[in-house]
A and B are shown apart, each in its own frame.
Chain A
Amino acid sequence: MIWARRGLIAFTLLFLGLFLLVPLASVLAEALRKGAGAYFSALADPEAMSAIRLTLISAAIAVPASVLFGVSAAWAVARFRFPGKSLLVTLIDLPFAVSPVVAGLVLVLVFGMQGWLGPALSRLGVRVIFAVPGIILATIFVSFPFVARGLIPLMQEQGDEEEQAAMLLGASGWQIFWRITMPKIRWGILYGVILCSARAMGEFGAVSVVSGHIRGKTNTIPLHVEILYNEYNFVGSFAVASLLVLVAIGTLAAKSGLEWKLRRDLRKSQEESA
């Protein structure tokens, strides 16, 4: 059995190493191929800076949107009975099932100049496709379900006895939410926020379709990586990509740290109730 065990561990190390760690290391190696000077000058480039700015702006809008939607959806789904609930939960997951390219395509069909609302909006002077609002909409579309899909099972598991007790004691709806529910779900919200920001900063397909790739205007970090790569500026492309690698590593660290904490809290509360 010891040989079977060693064999399985060796296979896992080799498989994850080859498929996950080697590509990760290659980004850093390619980025530093021409030395630290070339690396930092690629990052300080004005177009790179404007891509970083736009990525941060869209994440700063998409993440609160995900929290607002997630808390609302979880309250409705986990605290009440109504017909069609499982259909509603499936609909929340739908953006994950749809190809990012199709997500971008429907935004073009609705808001583009050949589209449904595009001509009317352009008469009002609003441009969505090939402009910043389209990028923000695409980012929201692909990232909004994260908070909801974490909170719904969490709140279903926690039950609503404490909320009911607060209501019997005369608390208003907002008091119940802020004083009772919020302290119980804040780590769950943070978990969703971590996943949502990683996706919001990294989305490529949907954003690529609606952006029009206007340099210095509608470029996000992942799109900037693509442009530099297609221009054979590999050092620049991998240097900018290394920023996203750092975000990804930070995401994984925060995620596993939080999972560890949530599991410990759960064990503690089980021991207290036992």
Chain B
Amino acid sequence: MFAKRGVLPGFGLTFGFTVLWLSALVLVPLSFLFLRAASLSWPEFVRTVTEPRALASYRVTLFTSLAAATLNALAGPVVAWTLVRFDFPGRRLLDAIVDLPFALPTAVSGIALTAVYAKNGWIGSWLDKFGVAVAFTPIGIIVALTFIGLPFVVRTLQPAIEDLDPSVEEAAGILGASPWQTFRRVIAPALLPSLLTGFALAFARALGEYGSVIFISGNMPLKTEITPLLIVNKLEQFDYAGATAIGAVQLTASFLLLFAINGIQWWAARKTAGPENA
């Protein structure tokens, strides 16, 4: 079984080190969380993860994450298309700026967005005239999560748009398709797998996001308390069992989404490979 592995030296050393590192730092600690959660009695576990405050936090987290990922799935394609297809002054600067949410520490994003969207902030004071409050409401959480998720959608779509051959769109036009038909029948199907992947990545990131949200959300239990914050609050009250139980729920959600994302990518690879290669 070792015969066809490869001819270069160093497999044992690098493979062993990699597996040891991942086990010590990732696998064992994460399994330990489930182990500790399993050592709670079943009724206690169920009571902790279904108490009204926990259920409200899942609701807030899921709703705002879904809303933010949807907003990004709508605006992201426009941004990605503009950055790939059009040349205009400042394009490269804008392209670099898209990664800002990755590069800016989440705590800084959090206080910056709060300053901008608070009632006396640059955008918040203007929205206040129309009676719209953003900071310290679920809308504020959606704003923060949209900020955090934007690069995931734009960066997964850009290579897919670069791969589109404009001559195919021209051919569709010459064959009599309207711009709308070209978009619906030619462009949209080709970009759908990347759009779904970007949506899922943004959604997954939003579910676990903490730093950028806690400043703008106001953190009112049952109203604007997200699940990661509930875990932190339980830890601060030294309720380790409660934090472990909610943490196990949060981690399970991350694993499920990771599987979903891998599934989407597998489906996309098969789709682009075409039926003859599948």
The answer to whether the Cβ of A32 comes within 8 Å of any Cβ in the partner chain is no
The answer to whether the Cβ of B112 comes within 8 Å of any Cβ in the partner chain is yes
How far is A22 from B243 in the complex, measured between Cα atoms in Å? 36
The answer to whether the Cβ of B123 comes within 8 Å of any Cβ in the partner chain is yes
CB distance from B244 to the nearest CB of A (A): 7
Q: Find the residue from B33, B229, B262 having the highest chain A CB count within 10 A.
A: B33
How far is A27 from B111 in the complex, measured between Cα atoms in Å? 8
The answer to whether the Cβ of B160 comes within 8 Å of any Cβ in the partner chain is no
Partner among A19, A72, A94, A222 whose Cβ is within 8 Å of the Cβ of B105: A222
User: By the criterion CB–CB under 8 Å, are A245 and B99 in contact?
Assistant: no
Instruction: Specify the chain B residue showing the minimal Cβ separation from A100.
Output: B210
User: By the criterion CB–CB under 8 Å, are B208 and A26 in contact?
Assistant: no
User: By the criterion CB–CB under 8 Å, are A23 and B116 in contact?
Assistant: yes
Instruction: Specify the chain A residue showing the minimal Cβ separation from B6.
Output: A80
Q: A9-B88, A76-B11, A79-B6 are contacts. A91–B103 as well, Cβ < 8 Å? A: no
How far is A225 from B235 in the complex, measured between Cα atoms in Å? 21
CB distance from B11 to the nearest CB of A (A): 5
User: By the criterion CB–CB under 8 Å, are B123 and A16 in contact?
Assistant: no
User: By the criterion CB–CB under 8 Å, are B86 and A9 in contact?
Assistant: yes
CB distance from A106 to the nearest CB of B (A): 4
Hey, which chain B residues are within 8 Å of A105, CB to CB? 33, 231, 235, 243-244, 247
Hey, which chain A residues are within 8 Å of B146, CB to CB? 19
Q: Per DSSP, are chain A's interface residues mostly helix, strand or loop, or mixed?
A: helix
CB distance from B140 to the nearest CB of A (A): 13
How far is A115 from B100 in the complex, measured between Cα atoms in Å? 37
Partner among A30, A90, A144 whose Cβ is within 8 Å of the Cβ of B258: A90
The answer to whether the Cβ of A205 comes within 8 Å of any Cβ in the partner chain is yes
How far is A16 from B105 in the complex, measured between Cα atoms in Å? 18
Q: A202-B104, A252-B103 are contacts. A26–B232 as well, Cβ < 8 Å? A: no
User: By the criterion CB–CB under 8 Å, are B247 and A22 in contact?
Assistant: no
Q: Find the residue from A92, A101, A114, A205 having the highest chain B CB count within 10 A.
A: A101
Stretch touching chain B among A42-50, A184-192, A236-244 = A236-244
Q: A80-B6, A97-B258, A99-B210 are contacts. A205–B82 as well, Cβ < 8 Å? A: no
User: By the criterion CB–CB under 8 Å, are A100 and B111 in contact?
Assistant: no
The answer to whether the Cβ of A123 comes within 8 Å of any Cβ in the partner chain is no
User: By the criterion CB–CB under 8 Å, are A198 and B26 in contact?
Assistant: no
How far is A13 from B32 in the complex, measured between Cα atoms in Å? 47
Hey, which chain B residues are within 8 Å of A16, CB to CB? 79, 94, 97-98
CB under 8 Å from chain B, chain A span 6-28 = 8-9, 11-13, 15-16, 18-24, 26-27
How far is A253 from B34 in the complex, measured between Cα atoms in Å? 41
Q: A98-B251, A101-B231 are contacts. A91–B26 as well, Cβ < 8 Å? A: yes
Partner among B14, B19, B98, B228 whose Cβ is within 8 Å of the Cβ of A205: B228
Hey, which chain A residues are within 8 Å of B102, CB to CB? 195, 198
Instruction: Specify the chain A residue showing the minimal Cβ separation from B88.
Output: A9
User: By the criterion CB–CB under 8 Å, are A114 and B240 in contact?
Assistant: yes
User: By the criterion CB–CB under 8 Å, are A237 and B111 in contact?
Assistant: yes
Hey, which chain A residues are within 8 Å of B19, CB to CB? 88
User: By the criterion CB–CB under 8 Å, are B105 and A102 in contact?
Assistant: no
Further contacts, 8 of them, CB under 8 A, given A164-B7, A204-B107: A8-B86, A20-B98, A69-B17, A73-B21, A88-B19, A102-B231, A205-B211, A248-B104
Task: Report which B residues bind A (CB closer than 8 A).
Answer: 4-11, 13-15, 17-19, 21-22, 25-30, 32-33, 36, 75, 78-79, 81-83, 86, 88, 92, 94-109, 111-113, 115-116, 121-123, 146-147, 150, 179, 204, 207-211, 215, 228-229, 231-232, 235, 240, 243-244, 247, 250-251, 254-255, 257-258, 262
* 18 A-B pairs whose Cβ atoms sit less than 8 Å apart in the complex: A12-B78, A22-B122, A72-B14, A77-B18, A80-B8, A80-B15, A91-B26, A91-B27, A97-B254, A101-B228, A101-B247, A102-B231, A105-B231, A106-B29, A177-B10, A221-B105, A241-B111, A252-B99
Task: Report which A residues bind B (CB closer than 8 A).
Answer: 1, 4-5, 8-9, 11-13, 15-16, 18-24, 26-27, 30, 69, 72-73, 75-77, 79-82, 88, 90-95, 97-102, 105-110, 112, 114, 116, 140-141, 144, 160, 163-164, 167, 172-173, 176-177, 195, 198, 201-205, 208-209, 221-223, 225-226, 229, 234, 237-238, 241, 244-245, 247-249, 251-253, 255-256
Q: Which 6 A/B pairs are nearest by Cβ-Cβ distance? A: A99-B208, A202-B105, A204-B211, A173-B9, A205-B210, A23-B112
